[in-house]
Structure 1
Amino acid sequence: MAKFGDPKDAVELQEMSWAEPATGQLLIRVRTAGAGFPDVMMTGGFYPLLDTPPFGLGTEAAGEVVAVPTGSRFSVGDQVLGITAFLEGWGGYADYAYLREGSTIRIPEGMTDEQAGGFPVGFRTAYAGLVERVPVQSGQTLLILGAAGSSGATALQLGKALGTTVIAVAGSREKLDFCARLGADHGLNHRTDDLTARIAEITDGRGVDVIYDPVGGDTATTAVKSLARNGHIAVIGLASGAFVTLDPMDMLLRNYSAAGVLALPNDDPETEAAVWSRLAELADKGAIATPVGQVYGFDEVPRLLTEQGAPGAGKSVVRVAS
């Protein structure tokens, strides 16, 4: 990305060269790369961790390892998926990409290229939210906002794998049907349903134990009214354009908490490796799978970025190469 602004003006195709990967990185030949709302934030200049273009877009990618540093646990020829070195300016919408070795795994057997390219960020974020920051327990009720989106749909699957009852909130019948196919126990349309009344009906007036919120805005603020006493909200993002509004007095009186979720690598490499091993195990068992939505060609990246502001159901993926 050359400058902030509208994707058709801000995004340029440039010829680059890639040096040998540094310690802690791998260089891959990219086949697919996942897309998401962070790309929109980066393009518009409001992603908090990147503030000076030019830099590459695309936070996750999958492909074949072509170079490794000395001592790497990977080898040239390995088929891998992982999170790119986007914070250093190297994104996944490219012929080649650097991956963070600690956030990379070999592609599980049976996983398609499109599923691999869109796997890392959504599921690592869901794990950070539902295991590390706001640990859910089997038998609890989990409310997921934006449940058909790339972030919500991964949390939906992980929540089911962890034994929760999932209430999926989305904005259309089509998206709710999509959530049902992923295993949601209940579906609510935030445009047409009275969320407070419907959640009370589903939970027999108790409320939900955990809210997973990648959306923010009025929908999230309304959903908080349905948190059970001692409940929690995991603040993931602001796809609506604004974060959830929280009232400290209400938090005090109902004894609920909010936790911010940013899925940066754990400082302990062994702990981080265990996270990825667990995600790979769940994928191998078929408990989680990338909810692939629209697949774009490499030349369609500007259109992809434009459409990520209001995407359809599922994870958008870029097919970079065969």
Structure 2
Amino acid sequence: MRFGSPQDSVELQRMTWPEPGPGQVLVRVRTAGAGYPDAMMAAGQFPLLGDPPFGLGEEAAGEVVAVPAGSRFSVGDRVTGITAFLDGWGGYADYTYLREESTIRIPARMTDEEAGGFPIGFRTAYAGLVDRAPVEAGQVLLVLGAAGSSGGAALQLGKARGATVIAVAGSREKLDFCRRHGADHVVNHRTEDLPARIAELTGGRGADVVFDPVGGDTALAALKAVARNGRVVLIGLASGKPVPLDSMDMLLRNYSAVGVLATPGSPEAEAVVWDHLADLAAHSTISTPVGQVYDFQDVPEMIARQARPTAGKTVVRIAS
């Protein structure tokens, strides 16, 4: 692999997978979740990766085929988790290593497609809405890019925490998708005045928490709709550029911005996170908002489309 357009840079290679070391679980992959970071990696714009070659795909689901001594998993377990992509082992492969601390047994009701796209979006949403800027029952949560991977997860997690959720997206298809996944209100940022509409929906108060995986002009407009003492949760920049923050505006209106990178904490803290998410999923309180499903041979094309994805979480089917 080399940096460039996915069609030119993403290559299929024959690999071997040694026995997993401490903290790893080797799985036979059935499905893998996709997202905008794949496009950033292919283009050489992902800040945490070095030079290619490396494996693409941050999350995967499948059956455990090998574990190190002392693992809490067993061969044959059906699991989903975050891959060791930072070490070169991604999910778009027959086999991959999952980080054991970020892996769970798949709840019985969860399909392979839902499992493959579950970990990254919900772990990111948890980091933003539970760890870094907790949204509470009765508050207003404004979710940008709400039909996307982390946005769709934040929408559901916000509802699970008792918030009123306003979902922002850019097409009727995506707004309908948000309604089906529990949004209380939807706003089209392309056709509506976003600050005015939020003011109308909140009686002029604004949103307590703004979940922003988008950045750019949409996020800049959303800043005008932050309530006093509100918080802006900075998740990503799907628009291609971060939101420009005005420190004087933050001071005068008394709101804060919180950066979120969902990296693992202590093993004990991670266990709490994943147990909570697994329990919510087992009770169908949250579920992966699956959108388009691709076949393995279509990965380069799929990655190229992540800059402008359709509604829902994109998933790749590796094995039937």
Range into which the TM-score falls when normalised by the shorter chain: over 0.9
What SS class does the counterpart of residue 188 from structure 1 fall into?
strand
Q: Is 1:273 aligned to residue 271 of structure 2? A: yes
The percentage of counterpart residues that share the same residue type is 71
- Partner deviation per Cα, 1:124-154 (whole Å, 9 max, x = no partner): 0000000001001100000000000111001
Deviant stretches of 4+, over 4 Å: none
- Partner deviation per Cα, 1:146-192 (whole Å, 9 max, x = no partner): 00011100100000000000000000011001000001000000000
Q: CA deviation at 1:196?
A: 1.2
- Partner deviation per Cα, 1:19-58 (whole Å, 9 max, x = no partner): 0001000000000000001101101101000021000000
Paired with 1:138 and 1:187, the residues of 2 have a C-alpha distance of: 19
Paired with 1:39 and 1:67, the residues of 2 have a C-alpha distance of: 27
What SS class does the counterpart of residue 308 from structure 1 fall into?
helix
Which of 284, 288, 291 aligns to 1:290? It is 288
Q: Is 1:231 aligned to residue 230 of structure 2? A: yes
Paired with 2:195 and 2:18, the residues of 1 have a C-alpha distance of: 54
Give the gaps of 5 or more residues in structure 2: none
- Opposite residue 309 of structure 1, the aligned amino acid is A
Aligned to 2:3: 4
Give the gaps of 5 or more residues in structure 1: none
What SS class does the counterpart of residue 142 from structure 1 fall into?
strand
Paired with 2:243 and 2:21, the residues of 1 have a C-alpha distance of: 39
Paired with 2:164 and 2:297, the residues of 1 have a C-alpha distance of: 41
Q: CA deviation at 1:270?
A: 1.1
Paired with 1:227 and 1:8, the residues of 2 have a C-alpha distance of: 40
- Opposite residue 10 of structure 2, the aligned amino acid is V
Aligned to 2:91: 92
Q: Is 1:103 aligned to residue 102 of structure 2? A: yes
Aligned pairs (5 A) from 1:1-322: 2-266=1-265, 268-322=266-320
What SS class does the counterpart of residue 143 from structure 1 fall into?
strand
Paired with 1:63 and 1:257, the residues of 2 have a C-alpha distance of: 40
- Opposite residue 28 of structure 1, the aligned amino acid is V
Q: CA deviation at 1:110?
A: 1.1
Q: Number of aligned pairs?
A: 320
Paired with 2:100 and 2:196, the residues of 1 have a C-alpha distance of: 47
Q: CA deviation at 1:200?
A: 0.7
- Opposite residue 313 of structure 1, the aligned amino acid is A
Paired with 1:77 and 1:207, the residues of 2 have a C-alpha distance of: 49
- Opposite residue 181 of structure 1, the aligned amino acid is R
Paired with 1:218 and 1:76, the residues of 2 have a C-alpha distance of: 48
What SS class does the counterpart of residue 125 from structure 1 fall into?
helix
- Partner deviation per Cα, 1:83-102 (whole Å, 9 max, x = no partner): 00001011000000000000
- Opposite residue 262 of structure 2, the aligned amino acid is A
Paired with 1:167 and 1:159, the residues of 2 have a C-alpha distance of: 10
